[in-house]
Amino acid sequence: MKTSEFELIHQIKKNLIMVPADLIRGIGDDCAVLKKDEDSVFLISTDCLVEKVHFELKQFSFIELGKKAMSVNLSDIAAMGGVPLYAFVTIGVSPDVNEGEVLDLYTGMQQVAAEFQAGIVGGDTTSSPKSFFVSLTVVGVAKNGQYKLRSDAKVGDGIYVSGNVGSSAVGLKLLQKKKVQENNFIKAHKNPRPRIQLGQLLGEASAVHAMIDLSDGLLQDLGHVLSASQVSAEINFENLPLEDDFFETCRSVGLSPEDTALTGGEDYQLLFTMDDAAAEELSSSLVAKRFKITRIGTVLPKEAVPKVALPLPARIRVLKNGKELKLGQLGYDHFLAHIRS
């Protein structure tokens, strides 16, 4: 298929006609949002990891794979500011995978779910002739007014990210080069942590307007927030939070540090926009709780920045030392990557 993932989702969405009662948000955010009762909503999301597309069994033990599968799914609940409750798990078992490995997968998923008091409550099992896959659907809850959407960024907001960006992409490259000695990059790739507590604190803060988790790369995911909110943004490359040895490690494995920081996927950090007037107070209370957040740019009016061609066009300008960066081959599109591989 030549169509990009985002274009395909757009076409699917266009042709859907049902609008169930109590649906607050359907396609287009990290989770669907459904009314639960007068005070709260359900948050529901699903994500699938396919061998050879999202992971190689040479690089992951089944316990590690289970942990990552649960973490990346819970990350979408974190992205809304929610509390995870339940997970459903579908596995596609390929001929070379045995029972012990499947049970290891569940040990990994269970470990992460238990850490957040969530439970695996169902699923489906099938054979898969070529690639192993694991697909999760997760359900969480949030109070009305305490969950965040992609579509609420406001002109003048600061743009913030948690943790560091670009680390997972460097970790993946190290693994591909068979450099397996554990370091922060490999850890970021193999064992991303869902930012559940941070997401909830940001969910409760009225100064925080829009939020998303970083799965497809900083620019791509920021682009989703900007287009959903009908705004644009300017980012300062110097302000991006990077591992101390990010530049030298990128160069040692042949990665462009700029492209990797801006477009490397799978960091599962939170990106959010916030009214700068409240930033100092919220930042210091988060820092006191040992959360690292960094202001990387500013939300601007829609027309302030022309569209640039990421896989999905986005209105983003990136400045480095006061000069505008030329954005090359950016973002990570699973379909295109799949076709290439």
Longest dimension (CA), the chain: 57
How many residues form the binding site for Mg ion (CB under 5 A)? 4
Name the minimum Å distance from CB 27 to ligand ADP.
4
Task: Name residue, tokens 């042709």.
Answer: 15
Nearer to ligand ADP, 91 or 270 (CB): 270
Among 29, 47, 51, 76, binds Mg ion (CB under 5 A): 76
Cα–Cα distances (Å) from 139 to 77, 115, 125, in that order, read 8, 15, 20
Least CB distance to Mg ion at residue 189 (A): 17
28 binds, among ligand ADP, Mg ion, none (CB under 5 to 8 A by kind): ligand ADP
215 vs 220, beta carbon nearer Mg ion? 215
Residue 172 or residue 300: which is nearer to ligand ADP going by CB?
Answer: 172
Q: CB under 5 to 8 A by kind: which of Mg ion, ligand ADP, none does 12 bind?
A: ligand ADP
Indicate whether 30 belongs to the interface with Mg ion (CB under 5 A): yes
Q: Least distance to Mg ion from the beta carbon of 106, Å? A: 24
Measured in Å, how far apart are the chain's first and last C-alpha atoms? 13
What is the distance between the alpha carbons of residues 183 and 191, in angstroms, rounded to a whole number? 11
What does R_g of the chain's alpha carbons equal in angstroms? 19
Contact map string, positions 209 to 238, toward Mg ion, x by CB under 5 A: ----x-x-----------------------
Paired tokens of 210: 């829009």
Residue nearest to Mg ion (CB): 30
* CA-wise closest residue to 258 among 303, 174, 324: 324
CB of 337 to ligand ADP, least distance (A): 14
Which partner from the list Mg ion, ligand ADP, none does 34 bind, CB cut-off 5 to 8 Å by kind? Answer: none
Out of Mg ion, ligand ADP, none, what residue 123 binds, judged by CB under 5 to 8 A for its kind, is: none
| 11-19, 28-36, 93-101, 180-188 -> range binding Mg ion (CB under 5 A) | 28-36
Contact yes or no for 168/189 (Cβ under 8 A): yes
Query: What's the closest the beta carbon of residue 247 comes to ligand ADP, in angstroms?
Result: 27
Residues 140, 147: Cα–Cα separation, whole Å: 11
* Between 246 and 268, CB nearer to Mg ion: 268
From the list Mg ion, ligand ADP, none, which binds 156 (C-beta under 5 to 8 Å, kind-based)?
none
Is the CB of residue 214 less than 8 Å from the CB of residue 269? yes
Number of neighbouring beta carbons within 10 Å of residue 42: 20
What's the closest the beta carbon of residue 315 comes to ligand ADP, in angstroms? 18
Instruction: Supply the minimum distance, in Å, between the C-beta of residue 28 and ligand ADP.
Output: 5
Neighbours of 307 (CB within 10 A): 14
Pairing of strands 208-213, 133-143: unpaired
**Residues contacting residue 244 through CB under 8 Å, at least 6 positions apart:** none
The DSSP-derived string for 45-56 is EEEEEEBTTTB-
Per-position b or e across 106-123, b if 16+ CB within 10 A of its CB: bebbbebbebbebebeee
**Where on the chain is the footprint of ligand ADP (CB under 6 A)?**
9, 12, 27-30, 47, 76, 215-216
Q: List interacting residues with Mg ion (CB under 5 A).
A: 30, 76, 213, 215
